[in-house]
Structure 1
Amino acid sequence: MVALAVCGAQQAYGQTVTRYDFDVAAGPRRQVIQTIAGIAGADVSFADAADKGLDQVVGPVRGNLTLAQALREALAGSKWFVETAGNGQVRIARSGGNADIIVTGRRDPLRKEDSNLLTRSDTPLKDTPGTIVSVTQSVLATQNTTSLNEAIRNLPGVTYTPGPPSQISSRGDSTRGASFTNGLRNSIAGGDAPTIDVESIEVLKGPSSVLTGTSVAGGLVNLNPKRATGTSLPQFDFGVGSNDYIRGSVDVGGTISESDRLYWRFVGLSEHADRQSNGGQNPHSYAASAIFGYRDNGWKIDASSQVYDTRIVYGKLYYADPTTNTVQPVTIFSNDNNYYKTRSLSQNLGVERDLVTSEAFTLRLRSRMRYQYAEQTLQNQLYQGKYNFGGAIGIIDLVTGNNSFSKNYQFSSSSDLYAKLETGSVTQQFIVAFDYSWQKINQIASGYSALVPFQPLPSLGSIPDSSNPNRNELRATRKDYGLVVQDQISWGPFHALLSARQTWYDLTSRQVFYPYLINNDADQRISKLLPTGGLVFSATKWASIYYTYQKAVTPPNLGVRTYRGAPFPAAISTGHEAGVKLELFGGRLSVTGDYFRKDNNNYPLIDPAHPGFYIPGPGQKSEGFEINQSGKITPTLFLQSGFAYTTSRSATPLVSAPRYQANAWLLKSFTLGDRQQLDIGFGGNYQSNVNLVKTDSLTGITTYPKFPIKYVRFDAAVGYTYGPYKLNLTVNNLFDRFNIYTPLVANSLYQGVGREFRLVFTAALPKSR
């Protein structure tokens, strides 16, 4: 192999989406590729520098293009093909040969610079009419993070409350436990999946429906999985930490057949602790993913199998005391053994095929499928507060318990036809897509309650099965499917998105309470046409302004029903957003500022005349502004931070939505000598002004008290790198401050993670092609 280092005018911090002004004359393929790479500040590596195909005349290449687009134009009409290979690399290959050319941009792996969540095609964030926040695996590695819970702290304006289902919220509403992998819906019983095998995690703000069908209300959470491209470096981790924490992980890959362009990758994780610092026994996470990839002459196939076993434990319980405006510990019982455990097996397949490729027209067929089977076990005791019955009874503490075993079968798929047409100064990207999601839920649950000390405190209970005489059996089937027609138009400085989705939702639910054989069945059918539109105006190469409009439908949770037994009506959400996007310091730092308004037309309230049932209440109306920053202020100083302000536009306060939120992660690198580097990271999270919801079970009156304490935590990291080896020390909640996860109700509040440290040794071994 001959490596040719090409010097350029600037570094390519995101060559797959960053655009450059190319004016390259026709010439030998070798020379044209080197010139294109030089303009983008990339390096070129030839597997066979003597290949005669490198002397063929190609070009010219002119225009404002990404590195990959410029290379495709240079090779249009030849037997060579171009594809992004991950890790900041673009591969130029020839079908049936092994004389690959690898073009590697010196990109910033700490930030994600494009997304397909809103546009269904990879689009630079600067040209996307909406707010998408993300965190990459490279940032998570600096924090020794392997869980979704800890990863979410990096996303501005997004909060996390442990489940199940875990609630991820933004703009005054939640995801209702929904999440997605590569744009396909995950199992509702899948819990908090480990993040060791993802490249990035991103959240699309607002009531999105283009990708998901029925809305997830508070934002679309998407996990982008790692892929096998034959370019990843083998990496091994070993870590220890507080509470007898121990961890081992591996990420290795290679080539099955270079001539057939088949690649493999394996990612594994095993971590366990005796306890969690804020309460809870024996948390663990075990995961393994086998990943395969095929790349050849217009074909792009990715397949993977994933299995994981997680035990998520709860922090200590607290309750808000309205008489003293304080937060008090629950002392009448301990929830130290409460947990929810998930076992999951999933299969994923993605296929893309270029049907037509030319300088002016591209036609591509894309299809993705995901199957997931998940089992979830839950044991949990909850504190429902103090009730003053007066007389001889006096003040009573109400305690309830939940035990359940759930099985969930989830199948999701999406197929679309993508066409890109370039005519003069106008580029159109047209998509016709159909997606389908089916899930089957089987759950057996048992519950209990006690008025303490009027009744004895119940034990934690056991996991029920079909032999349990006092059980609740739920069997439900849900289908989400839709047809999407979309056009994305670029005309000079203007980028427009026009989309219409016809979505359908079918639910069949059968619920029986034993031994009384009380049925609580539900069927619901929804059919809605949901538009999405947006416009971006690029005022300069480094600044743009945008506006977006989104409409979505959200079906109610299964347990939300009216007294007369009718299904609760679906909520229609409407979102408006306007903002500015900046690319500063030569494109190293991305800044987004936006103002948003979000409405929905109904919100379930407890029926005061019939406790346990609901009536439609006034819809929630929220507004606010956000500012997000991600990237490098200098070549050695990385910043990921944000601030969000959210408030209600009606007399009813928003519930479990902090009015003020802020987060930051600052990472500074110092070069100590040959192959040596010191990384110092520091950051934190802040939340304040949260309203709870509290309904008096005796009177049916609902109030919205303000939560009395703020959430504040600081985190730090120190990493030392010598060649391929790194030792990374992280400390979460550095000052061991008492925190409560974003609260929803006044009782059963979970304590946030206390001070914890992790020390992880990583060996990232070199790999030869």
Structure 2
Amino acid sequence: MCWMKTSLVAVAVMTCVQQVDAQTVTRYEFDVPRGPRDEVVREIARIGGSIVSLSHPDAPGLSEATGRIKGNFTLAEALEKALAGSEWYVAAAGNDQVRIARTGENSSDIIVTAFRGKLRKEDSSLLTRSDTPLKQTPGTVVSVSQAVLASQNVTSLEEALRNLPGISFTPGPPFLLSSRAGVTNGTSFTNGLRNASRAGPSPVVDAAAIEVLKGPSSVLSGTAVAGGLLNIVPKLATGVSPDEISIGGGTYGYVRGSADVGGAISEEDRLYWRFVGLSEFARQKNQGGDEPSTKSGTFLLGYRNDGWKIDSITQYYNTRSPFSRRYVNDTSQDRIIDVDDYFSRDTYYQNESIAQQLQLERNLVAGNNFELRMRARGRYQRANESFTNINCLFGCIGDVPVLVTAYRGKSDQYSGSADFYAKLVTGRLEQQLIVAFDYAGAKGTNFDVSDFGFGLPAPSPLAIPTASTPGVLLSQSRRRDYGVVVQDQINWGRFHALLSLRQTWFHERLTNDDPLLVPVETNVSKLLPTGGVVFDATKWASIYYSYQKGITPPQQFARQANGDLLPPAITTGHEVGAKFELFNSRMSITANYFRSTTSNQPLPNPANPLIFIPVEGRQVDGFELAQVGRITPTLFLQSGFVYTRPKTEVSRIGQPKYVANAWLLKTVGLGDKRSLDLGFGANYQSKAGILFDDFITGARSYPRVAVDYLRFDAAIGITSGPLKLNLTVDNIFDRLNLYNPSVADSLARAPGRDVRLVLTLALPGAR
């Protein structure tokens, strides 16, 4: 059927990482009584987490009666049943759209879109490379939606990750995300494409969701992901945006303004635009340096027509993050010591990034039993990073050396992927086959300068170098990370299986202007398998097992006695668990047991600390419990608990033994488009391990941090028509907390109590 002759179109706009639309794979329990077709469609959309707007409510056939819709279906399947016996039918499903069509000359639209403020993500493609319901994903993916972040007045990645169980964040550079005793070392992804390492953590106002795949995944990322894969799901221009602006303020001179607006460039051609911007500034960081700030702007274009889905994302941001007040862990007395004599309010790091991302999908064949889709994505990012810092070498106790460093780095990151996705249905057997190629290349330049000081007070920060001059070390790097993936995802009744093989290649070359140092080259080639199986025990419960491998290239400074680099570190993960969809699929619960081992971990030779030996490094196991969703239609809860048991001393570094989090949000209707939102949450980390080197005796130990991490947060939001006023208080009791540390003489304090008040105005015409 020619698109120009379509007279009814239903567009289900759901944000997702890539590939198949969530609304076409997620199943819901429907029980819709007989009634007029337009009312039945509205009720189906409501159950599927969507709303309907009719541009022509008097379109022929919408008032006709249709039968009862009862059963467990996807949104597209339920709509097909509602349209049975009429001239309407579902013309295509997938590609972020469900299209209902009827031959004719006059055009009218039904737009079916996710509820504004959707509080949970029900699917992911991080493990399977195609959007799969979390209940059928053989692994653990935890996520937080933009709606939850808005309820907390959150704009930074650091604060966003507090919602994810078992995830510890340490600010940079580089920022570290740790999980299951593995560390990302600044590696992150946007819609499955690698971000520049020098770009730092990006603001999250233009993110629809933040998600992390637990374990050493390699299907999507290739190298350098050991404990968890961090992916930012961007907002898209789909013709339906919140159209809102906000202003706010808070403690320590904090002010902010933001906007999220969009619309149609051409509704007939289904070409849309959207802009998301943020500007925020504070006089000082709570328990840190001066003048933290963020400026960001993202312009989006989206095209949805004739089987095409094209998205363009242009993003710019500039963040200035002062360092926090520092502490030292006194292992002899099991306490922490404030070393504010060495703290400088002028120490900070700054990241600037401009990125362009383009992604497209094209339905080549669309049928009931066979689908074929071509998908391609590309990303270019130019990033600059600079910082100045003061570190104590021997614990900042007494008359000790102080190392002052300054650094500037810039990089260009190219990332891309292309694949063919085929779905084949034969009776009860459904196979989703993917052949994919991805590439990530980067080149970077660093300028470093350092100096030593002794005693009190701490020396002033050094000027950040801008070029290679005497005393400034220039180093350059080139990196290529690419691979080929062959995958089969099988659905057969209650059984779901994932079989994936990735051949990954990695090459890196480092050079510098020090004549005593020779260029360093690293080459890695490895075949990495991933597999898993899920069994649907009931409509609301499933059990699963997964096997994953990840690879981390050798560290350039870690040399063996003969001068060679160590072999790459291989992390192997096993996971077994159960998943539940409760309260008519309003709530998801995941419980699992995991085990992770890493080979070829570099360990300094006790006889010569400058020489490293490969050992069986991090070995951990433990269990996790994660929950997200609505207990009742007005009571939302996102929470989790993770217990990690290190099997080796090195596994204790940066790994809390107990991690728990919760965010409870209650909505109270006040009538006449007014409501009250009450939020309360907490975060807890206990027995985090650190590395301690005694420079006098040469002994190395792995004590735990002397204080646990504990904070409580609260929020109250009042909505009246288009206005919402949201007040948040973070760390209510102003408790001393520390970021998840790695070494005993560099413990950074997490923010104390912060109060923020944000007023949001929904503009006329917002849908």
Letter in 1 for 2:434: I
The letter of the residue matching 1:398 is: P
**CA 1:105–1:447 in structure 2 vs 1: closer, same or farther (change >3 Å)?**
closer
Q: What amino acid does structure 2 have at the position aligned with 1:180?
A: F
What is the TM-score when the length of structure 1 is the normalising length?
0.91
Matched AA of 1:488: Q
Whole-Å separation in 2 of the counterparts to 1:527 and 1:41: 44
2:8/2:101 contact within 8 Å kept: no
Question: Could you list the runs of 5+ residues in structure 1 that have no partner in the other structure?
Answer: 6-13, 389-394
1:484 and 2:485 are equivalent in the alignment? yes
**1:441 Cα deviation after fit:** 1.3
CA apart distance, 1:30: 7.3
Following TM superposition, by how much is the alpha carbon of 1:400 offset from its aligned partner in structure 2, in angstroms?
Answer: 1.1
**How many angstroms apart in 2 are the aligned matches of 1:309 and 1:236?**
20
What's the CA shift for 1:606? 3.0
SS at match of 1:754: coil
State the distance in 1 between where 2:292 and 2:49 align. Answer: 46
2: CA distance, partners of 1:41 / 1:326: 50
Cα distance in 1 for partners of 2:576, 2:510 equals 40
Q: 1:97 to 1:366 in 2, by over 3 A?
A: farther
Match of 2:501 in 1: 500
1:426 aligns to 2:429 (yes or no): yes
CA shift at 1:62, angstroms?
10
C-alpha distance in 2 between matches for 1:235 and 1:44: 20
Instruction: Indicate the larger mover: 397-406 or 477-486.
Output: 397-406
1:444 aligns with 2:447: yes
- 1:377 matched to 2:375? The reply is no
Counterparts in 2 of 1:648-667, with a 5 A limit?
648-650=646-648, 652-667=650-665
> Is 1:72–1:82's contact at 8 Å kept on the other side of the alignment?
no
Q: Distance in 2 between matches of 1:322 and 1:434?
A: 49
Q: Relative to structure 1, is the Cα distance of residues 620 and 77 closer, same or farther in structure 2, using a 3 angstrom cutoff?
A: farther
Distance 1:669 1:112 in 2: 19
2:552 and 2:569 in contact (8 A); partners too: yes
Secondary structure, counterpart of 1:141 in structure 2: helix
Q: What residue is the counterpart of 1:594 in the other structure?
A: 592
Structure-2 change in CA distance of 1:93 and 1:159 (3 Å): farther
Query: How big is each residue's C-alpha offset from its partner over 1:195-226, in whole Å with a ceiling of 9 and x where there is no partner?
Result: 01000000000000000011411200000000
CA 1:569–1:116: 2 relative to 1, 3 Å: same
CA–CA separation in structure 1 for the residues paired with 2:87 and 2:223:
42
The DSSP-based 3-state class of the residue aligned with 1:318 is strand
Name which of 129, 140, 144 aligns with 1:135: 144
- Name whichever of 609-618 and 489-498 sits farther off: 609-618
Instruction: Specify the code of the residue in structure 2 equivalent to 1:406.
Output: G
CA distance in 2, matches of 1:571, 1:98: 58
Deviations 1:636-658 (A, max 9, x none): 11100000000112355421100
Indicate the SS of the match to 1:481: strand
RMSD: 3.2
Instruction: Report the alpha carbon displacement of residue 620 of structure 1 after superposing the two structures with TM.
Output: 1.1
Matched, 1:726 2:735: no
Question: Match of 1:627, SS?
Answer: strand
Structure 1 residue 38 displacement after superposition: 8.2
* SS class of match (1:100): strand
Q: Is the 8 A contact 2:88 2:102 kept in 1?
A: no
Aligned pair 1:65/2:82, yes or no?
A: no
Partner of 1:10: none
Q: Cα offset for 1:90?
A: 5.2
Q: How does 1:706-745 map to 2 (within 5 A)?
A: 706-745=704-743
- Corresponding residue for 1:402? 405
Structure 1 pair 97–713 and aligned structure 2 pair: CA distance change class (3 A): farther
Query: What are the residue-to-residue correspondences of 1:107-126 with 2, within 5 Å?
Result: 109-126=118-135
Q: Write the deviation string for residues 568-620 of structure 1: whole angstroms up to 9, x where unpaired.
A: 32101100000010111111111100000000102222344444553323321
Contact 1:207 1:574 in 2 (8 A): yes
> Given the alignment, which residue of 329, 347, 357 partners 1:320?
329
Residue 57 of structure 1 deviates from its aligned partner by 14
Aligned residue for 1:173? Answer: 182
Please say if residues 592 and 629 of structure 1, whose CA atoms lie closer than 8 Å, have aligned partners that are also in contact. Answer: yes
Q: What letter matches 1:441 in structure 2?
A: G
What is the match of residue 666 of structure 2? Answer: 668
**Separation in 2, partners of 1:337, 1:94:** 65
Query: What are the equivalent positions in structure 2 for 1:280-359 lying under 5 Å apart?
Result: 280-359=289-368
Aligned CA distance change for structure 1 residues 576 and 440 (closer, same or farther; 3 Å): same
The residue type paired with residue 292 of structure 1 is L
Once the two structures are superposed, residues 484-543 of structure 1 have per-residue CA deviations (whole angstroms, 9 ceiling, x without a partner) of 000111111111111011111111111333xxx321521111111100000111111111
The 1:54/1:619 distance shift into structure 2, 3 A limit, reads same
Question: Quick one: which of 515, 524, 527 aligns to 2:525?
Answer: 527
**1:335 alignment partner, SS class:** coil
- 1:90-133 per-residue CA deviation (whole Å, 9 max, x = no partner) reads 56478998522223566971111100000001111001000000
Amino acid at match of 1:606: P
Alignment of 1:260 with 2:269, yes or no, is yes
Report the Cα distance in structure 1 between the residues aligned to 2:77 and 2:452, rounded to whole angstroms.
63
Bigger shift: residues 249-258 or 326-335: 326-335
Contact in 1 for aligned 2:729/2:753 (Cα 8 Å): yes
Distance 1:100 1:379 in 2: 56
**1: distance between equivalents of 2:547 and 2:120?**
26
Which of 581, 584, 589 matches 2:582?
Answer: 584
Q: Distance in 1 between matches of 2:332 and 2:228?
A: 35
Corresponding residue pairs, total: 746
CA distance in 2, matches of 1:578, 1:411: 36
Q: Distance in 2 between matches of 1:53 and 1:684?
A: 52
Could you tell me whether the CA contact under 8 Å between 2:430 and 2:492 is conserved in 1? yes
Equivalent position amino acid for 1:442 in 2: T
2:245: which partner in 1? 236
User: Against the structure 1 CA distance between its residues 369 and 603, is the aligned structure 2 distance closer, same or farther, given a 3 Å change threshold?
Assistant: same
In 2, Cα distance between the equivalents of 1:538 and 1:272? 49
Alignment of 1:385-400 (within 5 A): 385-386=394-395, 396-400=399-403
Q: 1:208 aligns with which of 217, 225, 228?
A: 217
SS at match of 2:198: coil
Give SS of 1:519's match.
coil
CA distance in structure 1 between the partners assigned to 2:534 and 2:213 by the alignment: 17
Q: Assess, with a 3 A threshold, how the Cα gap between structure 1 residues 417 and 747 changes in structure 2: closer, same or farther.
A: same
User: Matches of 2:311 and 2:87 in 1, distance apart?
Assistant: 26
Whether contact under 8 Å (2:113, 2:240) holds in the other structure is: no
CA deviation string 1:469-498 (max 9, x = no partner): 112221111111110000111111111111
> Would you say the 8 A contact 1:425–1:492 is kept in 2?
yes
- Partner-residue secondary structure (3-state), 1:475: strand
Q: One-letter code of the match for 1:668?
A: K
Instruction: For residue 468 of structure 1, report the CA deviation from its aligned partner.
Output: 2.7
Q: Distance in 1 between matches of 2:49 and 2:450?
A: 62
- Judge which range, 53-62 or 560-569, deviates more: 53-62
Secondary structure in structure 1 of the residue aligned to 2:393: strand
Change (3 A) 1:653 1:438: closer
CA distance in 1, matches of 2:205, 2:45: 32
Q: Could you list the runs of 5+ residues in structure 2 that have no partner in the other structure?
A: 1-6, 11-21
Q: Percent identity?
A: 50
- What does residue range 82-93 of structure 1 map to in structure 2 within 5 Å? 82=92, 92=100
Paired residue secondary structure (1:153): helix
The answer to whether the Cα contact below 8 Å between 2:163 and 2:661 also exists between their aligned partners in 1 is yes
Q: Answer yes or no: is 1:278 the counterpart of 2:267.
A: no
Cα 1:316/1:98, change in 2 over 3 Å:
farther
Query: Which position in structure 1 is the counterpart of 2:14?
Result: none
Aligned to 2:3: none
How far has the Cα of 1:43 moved from its partner? 5.0
Residues 468 and 533 of structure 1, relative CA distance in 2, 3 Å threshold: same
| 1:667 aligned counterpart, secondary structure | strand
CA distance in 1, matches of 2:77, 2:361: 18
SS at match of 1:139: helix
Local SS of the residue matching 1:189: helix
| SS of aligned partner of 2:163 | coil
Deviation at 1:246, TM superposition (A): 0.4
Take 2:249 and 2:611, find their aligned partners in 1: how far apart are those partners? 48
